[in-house]
Amino acid sequence: MGRKLKLVGIGLIAVLIVLQFFQPEKNDTPIDPELDMLELLAPPEPVADLIRDACYDCHSNQTIYPWYNRISPASLYLYKHIKKGKEDLNFSEYGLLDKVDKIGAFADFCDVVDAGSMPLQSYMLIHKDARLTQEERETLCNWTEKQALKVMRE
**Residue 5 within a domain:** no
Residue 26 near residue 63 (C-beta atoms within 8 A): yes
Enclosing domain of residue 106: 26-153
Residue 126 near residue 57 (C-beta atoms within 8 A): no
**Residue 18 within a domain:** no
> Whole-prediction pTM value?
0.82
How many Cα atoms within 13 Å fall on the side-chain side of residue 116? Answer: 4
| pLDDT at residue 123, rounded to an integer | 86
**Residue 11 within a domain:** no
**Residue 146 within a domain:** yes
**Residue 10 within a domain:** no
Q: Which residues pair with 28 in a beta bridge?
A: 62
pLDDT band at 85 (very low <50, low <70, confident <90, very high): very high
Is the CA virtual torsion 60, 62, 67, 73 positive or negative? positive
**Residue 113 within a domain:** yes
Segment 117-144 mean pLDDT: 90
| pLDDT at residue 38, rounded to an integer | 95
| pLDDT at residue 36, rounded to an integer | 96
**Residue 48 within a domain:** yes
Structural domains counted in the chain: 1
**Residue 120 within a domain:** yes
